[in-house]
């Protein structure tokens, strides 16, 4: 049996990238993004808001936390 690796989706091209061996990665708003090559990373770094999914204020916790 092989070791199971965690895969991430390159937000630029959609390619699956192994998080453990990814050569190109960057942090944006507390989240790590992984890239298949330097070109995808550079594109993301120029305008991360365009490619990073929008997060609501309630991401990762109770749905009603912001309304109470």
Q: What are the pLDDT digits (tens) for 23-47?
A: 999 999 999 999 999 999 999 999 9
Provide the domain count of the chain. Answer: 1
State the Cα torsion 67-27-8-38 to the nearest 10°: 150
Q: Is residue 8 a contact partner of residue 17, using CB atoms and an 8 Å limit?
A: yes
> Average pLDDT for residues 1-17, to the nearest whole number?
88
- 30 is in which domain, residue-wise? 7-50
- Inside any domain, residue 61: no
- Inside any domain, residue 37: yes
Separation between Cα atoms, residue 10 and residue 37, nearest integer Å: 9
- Inside any domain, residue 64: no
Contacts of 31 (CB under 8 A, 6+ apart): 52
**Which SS3 state, helix, strand or coil, does residue 34 take?**
strand
Q: Give pLDDT, residue 56.
A: 55
- Inside any domain, residue 38: yes
């Amino acid at each position: 049996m092989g070791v199971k690796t965690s895969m991430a989706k390159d937000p630029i091209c959609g390619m699956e990238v192994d998080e453990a061996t990814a050569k190109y990665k960057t942090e944006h708003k507390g989240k790590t993004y992984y890239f298949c090559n330097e070109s995808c990373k550079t594109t993301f770094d120029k305008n991360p808001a365009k490619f990073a999914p929008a997060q609501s204020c309630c991401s990762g916790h109770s749905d009603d936390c912001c309304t109470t």
